[in-house]
Amino acid sequence: MNNHTTFKDCIEACLRCAAFCQHCASSCLREDDVRMMADCIQLDMECAALCHATAQLLGLGSGKAAEISRLCATLCRSCAAECGRHGHGHCRECAAACLQCAEACERMAA
């Protein structure tokens, strides 16, 4: 059911997730073993970019909302899994935001 509330919830979740992903990537760059964090940083940056794009396209009322949301949910789940492998607080917060975004995007795509 694509109504204003569904769009709004998904847009807000995407913007929140993007902010957490950007913070996580930035924080990972300051970790002692940056090489170990390379996959996390890459997924954070990709997830942030796609979350921003998804929010923008949903805000425009894109006819591809379901497809875009499905892709965003998939990437958010991948990012959450990677962040969940690390014990850093910023990674745990990012993983939680990614899971919330994935759930909102999945509702949007339903």
We report the CATH number of the domain holding residue 59 as: 1.20.1270.360
The model's pLDDT over 37-93, given as tens digits with 9 standing for 90+, comes to: 999 999 999 999 999 999 999 999 889 999 999 999 999 999 999 999 999 999 999
pTM passes above 0.85: yes
Q: What does the alpha-carbon distance between residue 46 and residue 40 come to, in Å, rounded to a whole number?
A: 10
Q: Which tokens sit at 79? A: 């990012």
Number of structural domains in the chain? 1
Q: What does the alpha-carbon distance between residue 13 and residue 38 come to, in Å, rounded to a whole number?
A: 25
By residue range, what is the domain housing residue 75?
Answer: 4-109
